[in-house]
Amino acid sequence: MTVPFATSSRSTVGLEWELMLADGTTGDLVPRAPDVIAALAESTGPERYTVTGELLTNTVEVTSGIGDTVAAAVDDIADAIAAVRTVTNPLEVELLCAGSHPFAQWYGQQVTDNTRYHKLIERTQWWGRNMMIWGIHVHVGVDDVSKVFPIINALAVYLPHLQALSASSPFWAGERTGYASNRALVFQQLPTAGLPWPLDDWAQFESYLDDMVATGVIADATEVRWDIRPAPRWGTIEVRACDGMSTLPELAAVASLVQVLVEHFSRELDEGRTLPRLQPWFVRENKWRAARYGLDARVIVDSDGTEMPVREHARETMQRLAGISVELQCAREFAGIEAILAQGASYARQVAVAAATNGDLREVVMHLIREFRAGPTLREHLATFGQ
């Protein structure tokens, strides 16, 4: 199978953000996505952003246009959210985002009426119905197909950093899981989901697709659901490992880290250098550690097995790559990573709210609703880092 990799401008950015729809009084999920999408279909047609459905009718996904900068892509997302609120506000439906809903149950949710989704549920059964998960996807343009898998393998070294920074699913169906990101371990139960296979080049990817299509596992490349995957249609690498971010500034911060890492690795390849790569068993262990411990994880950072606290290694990486963030015009968004490292990711805030309210998970949901609605806008957040 020949799979063309589209032409894409180097290090451009596209964002996808999956948002929950919840009753403003009870905090429980509501199946209003079809209503929202139908109401916006005509008005959003000419816009750079899109508002679409997802597997469950309790979810809308907002996507940006192609941004030359992270800020441009985030502006599209902000515009999309504003459009969604013109429909949800009168319905008294609230928006929120995290990797999981703290107390909603899978059997109370409706699957979107779509052939692809019905096939997925028919095949995956209980696990498919349990995909009550929300995430972000960050696309970054790559200028040469030969770079794609070396960069994907290098990004896998930083998968635990991205997972820990975004971790926001400590509760599942009303229970405290003990994990910072329960979503990370649930999502990998789907066929073709989880860690990317450590392929060396595009020809191996095409061979992989041949095998998967021939055996009926997938119909095409869009059904490859790896944590980090190529997106041939767009000419991008797509990072899908992250839980749903709870605020717009956090989304911008993680997106900037992905953009900076991809550009850094692309430059290393331009200079003829070999990119870092971990043994697959180290990559798997790192994913589990980040899912379990979040920003308190110790991760394996090189092929010799050197271990470091993920916070420390993230800060070291930020310092080393800060110059690239300036060149990509995302330095202020990049600085937002430090705010997450210092103040804690969403999972820690959710656990703190639960502890302060005798384990009342409805209060956790209300916290997420308030945080999403009233938390700092990106512009307000960036203003704290100067002009």
Give 224's pLDDT tier (boundaries 50, 70, 90).
very high
Q: Residue 224 carries which side chain, given as an amino acid letter?
A: V
Distance CA 235, CA 233 (A): 6
Please give the pLDDT value at position 1: 84
51: enclosing H helix or E strand: strand 50-53
Chain position carrying tokens 């996904």: 61
Residue ranges covered by each domain of the chain: 13-383
Selection from 56, 70, 64, 67 nearest residue 17 by Cα: 64
Average pLDDT over residues 245-262: 97
Q: What is the pLDDT of residue 290?
A: 98
Give residue 382's pLDDT: 47
The dihedral built from the CA positions of residue 66, 238, 7 and 220, taken in this order, carries a sign that is negative
Architecture of domain 13-383: 2-Layer Sandwich (3.30)
Tell me: the pLDDT tens digits for 20-39?
A: 999 999 999 999 999 999 99
Give the angle 245-247-251 at the CA atoms, nearest 5°. Answer: 55
Q: Closest Cα partner for 210 from 198, 200, 196, 224?
A: 224
In order of 119, 200, 218, 222, the CA distances from 116 in angstroms are 5, 30, 11, 11
Residue pLDDT, tens place only, 128-167 = 999 999 999 999 999 999 999 999 999 999 999 999 999 9
Q: What pLDDT does 374 receive?
A: 78
Q: Which residue has the tokens 């899912």?
A: 291
Check if the beta carbon of residue 238 is closer than 8 Å to that of residue 230.
yes
Amino acid identity, position 69: T
SS3 content of the chain, % helix, strand, coil (to 5): 50, 15, 35
Average pLDDT over every residue of 240-251: 97
How does pLDDT run across 176-192, given as a tens digit for each residue?
A: 999 999 999 999 999 99
What number is the average pLDDT over the span 164-172? Answer: 98
Whole-number Å distance between alpha carbons of 119 and 106: 18
For the segment 90-119, the average pLDDT, to the nearest whole number, is: 95
**Residue 202 pLDDT exceeds 80:** yes
Q: How far is CA 111 from CA 39, 189, 295, 333, in A?
A: 19, 18, 33, 35
Answer whether residue 170 shows pLDDT above 80.
Answer: yes
How large is the average pLDDT for residues 223-235?
A: 97
Q: Where are the alpha helices (H) located in 113-191, listed in sequence order?
A: 115-129, 148-155, 159-166, 182-187
pLDDT band at 375 (very low <50, low <70, confident <90, very high): low
Report pLDDT for 335. 97
Summarize pLDDT for 63-98 with one digit per residue, the tens.
999 999 999 999 999 999 999 999 999 999 999 999
For range 308-335, the mean pLDDT: 98
